[in-house]
Chain A
Amino acid sequence: MSKIMTVDILSSIKGAKPSESVNKLFDVIKNANQQNNSNTTVHNKVVSLNDLREDVVVESSAIEKEIIKENFPKEKNGFLVVAKVIED
């Protein structure tokens, strides 16, 4: 069932190909020594349950709403216009 996705599809960039310079960096990692020290993971960014922010809806200010609309690439009657959304 799996479909091979090339990097141009994954990146949504037409004709994109892996770069030689970047591949050289990845080769270094492939050849690096691995310690499998999963017990010593030090990058835990766990937020305590007591520390979670309030689950409330914050109304945007009038100026925020105005700027968000101003940033629309294409607008019609105050709505964002997009190309055909539902496909394959």
Chain B
Amino acid sequence: MESQIYKIHQQLINKEISCTALVQEKLDLLQQNTFNTVNSLLEETAIELAKKVDAKIANGQEIGLLEGIPFGIKDVYMVQGTYTTASSDLLKNYKSAYTATAIQKLLDAGAIPLVKENCDSFGHGSSSENTIFGAVKNAVNPALVGGGSSGGSAVNVAKDYTIFSIGGDTGGSIRQPAGYNKVYGLKPTYGRISRYGLMAYASSTDCVGPIAKSLEDIRIVLNVMSGKDVKDQTTYKSDKIKKDLNTSNIKTVGYFKNFIESKAISNEIKVDFLAIIDKIKAKGIAVKELEFFDSDILVSTYYTLAMAETASNLSRLDGTNYGARIEGDTLKDTYSITRSEKFSEETKRRIVGGNQVLSQGFSDEIYLKAQDVRNQISARFTNDFKEVDIILSPVTPQNPPKIGDSLKDPLAMYLSDAYTVGFSLAELPTLTLPKGTNTGLQLTADKKNDAHVLQFANLLNDIL
């Protein structure tokens, strides 16, 4: 699909549409939608900003490429003065006091935020059912889940309610819903975009990233949000990715043989994936089979570390300074009653799991061992990228589940993240391309080679 951002930009400067009418149309669509994608609408500020863009155009002033482009924000980002609930009961009435760096950069470029989007509470889930705002329905088949945790964001883009949305990806939370709803979603290299103002789930893998309907829109939004930020000391300085996505430097593509030979993968996804490998070979690109860690090791390593980090990050939520509070007889009682009643079952499961692995007597055999396995995973990728330029994999082993199924079986939900979590642990740039298999394809390059991912996606767009 062509760039929606360029298309709307041209329509605005040619005065074919007004920004106010465009924003109002999208707000109406969001308000009326039955997919449960909206936590709160930012109606007043959106219309005010749109009027300013129209006034600029009417005065003959130039507007920037993102000026007047309506977008959505997963409800885990701080945007000053807006409700920021993380889809949780505990923060149902919490208002952001400040704005996240990534979002501020988009605001500075003139993009117009329309909506805080539904997601799994605190990012805890792979289906966007763990939310107080109702399960997000899949854009293609509403009986299925929207995916998660950035489900509302992916569905809004797929249904054209937003031009692009900003999701958050800790273990696959942008890539999996993008695949389930047939749109593009990018988890950049860890540290490329500042996490300042993103509600922390697992800080060592949390990433900010765009969801959009075209590769070009992903590139535009990524470039605007990237860069070093003193407020997040894990960020690094990066070059802008150029529009001309030359593919000549991609000579070898790898894929994990054990992912494709796994008993967990559906036959349909397996067959479709192998057909793509044949098409790539037919283009004269070398393809190499790679060995990788078993899915259960990847999932267990990821969840051990993510639970430990979330137990620590969410310990601040005790009803003292902000959020809901249920009074007990003592301060400790107040903490535990508030947390017991206001956290969801899935969030409690993860906090308890995190405290288990961090506690004395268990940290050596579980937490520290998981850290060691994570290092082994990263080392394996370092070696693999000496031999291949891109690693290709399915996004998920199975098609999206029906709404209700994931909540019944948490272990099955954790295992459904088997193909996304490894790339998160290794901090690699990974894109979902909504082609090839029913839930898309994942393209990964070595750290800081986000441009390679977009380049190869461009090539695949030509051959698939």
Contact = CB atoms under 8 A, between A and B. Distances in A.
A35 to B, nearest CB: 6
Nearest to A68: B97
A84 B375 contact: no
Contacts of B409: 21
B96 interface: yes
Interface string A44-86: 0101000111100000100110011011111000001011110
Give the contact-size bracket for chain A: 35 or more
A1 interface: no
Nearest to B229: A53
A73 B331 contact: no
A72 B352 contact: no
B334 A83 contact: yes
A7 B355 contact: yes
Contacts, number: 174
A28 B369 CA distance: 11
Given A22-B303, A25-B303, A30-B369, A67 B324 contact: no
A71 to B, nearest CB: 4
B137 to A, nearest CB: 25
Contacts of A64: 80, 97-98
A68 B336 CA distance: 23
Contacts of A38: 372
A37 B97 contact: no
Contact of A29 (B301, B318, B333): B301
Interface string A1-29: 01001011011111111110110111011
A51 to B, nearest CB: 7
A71 B95 contact: yes
B384 to A, nearest CB: 13
Given A21-B411, A30-B366, A80-B321, A70 B95 contact: yes
B435 interface: no
B300 interface: yes
B304 A18 contact: no
A42 B331 contact: no
B379 A42 contact: yes
Please name the 5 residue pairs, one residue from A and one from B, whose CB atoms are nearest each other, closest first: A73-B325, A28-B300, A71-B322, A21-B411, A10-B355
21 contacts: A5-B359, A7-B355, A12-B318, A13-B348, A22-B410, A26-B353, A32-B373, A37-B372, A37-B375, A41-B375, A42-B375, A43-B374, A52-B233, A53-B231, A54-B230, A60-B97, A71-B95, A71-B322, A71-B323, A74-B325, A83-B329
